[in-house]
């Protein structure tokens, strides 16, 4: 499944990332909608959910995220909805780990 989030804040360290495999961090912007896919092996076999997917978050609950590979690139987002298939452009699509 996929979860859509609206980015609320992000650290300036995201825009400074220049390593080729991590340049996607430069595209993060406050107020943008991002899609995050929950796929194995990140999915728990017991719950069939990914940790941090905001399952019980509704309305204005602020959730925290951190980029893998650059823990200084972090921020907050709000859950919009859970859907079966991600509909965001590739540059705004991510995977839970």
Query: What is the pTM (predicted TM-score) of this model?
Result: 0.84
pLDDT at residue 8 greater than cutoff 80: yes
- As a whole number of angstroms, the distance between CA 50 and CA 6 comes to 18
Map tokens 């991002």 to a residue: 34
Tell me which DSSP letter residue 22 carries.
G
- As a whole number of angstroms, the distance between CA 93 and CA 71 comes to 19
**Overall size of the chain counted in residues:** 97
**Percentage of residues in the chain with pLDDT exceeding 70?**
96
Q: Are 7 and 88 in contact (CB under 8 A)?
A: no
**Percentage of residues in the chain with pLDDT exceeding 90?**
34
């Amino acid at each position: 499944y996929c979860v859509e989030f609206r980015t609320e804040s992000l650290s300036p360290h995201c825009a400074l990332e220049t390593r080729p495999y991590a340049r996607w961090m430069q595209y993060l912007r406050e107020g943008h909608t991002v899609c995050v896919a929950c796929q194995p092996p990140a999915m728990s076999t017991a719950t069939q959910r990914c940790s941090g997917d905001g399952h019980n978050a509704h309305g204005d609950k602020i959730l925290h995220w951190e980029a893998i590979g650059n823990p200084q690139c972090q921020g907050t987002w709000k859950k919009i909805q859970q859907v079966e298939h991600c509909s965001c452009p590739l540059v705004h699509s991510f995977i839970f780990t």
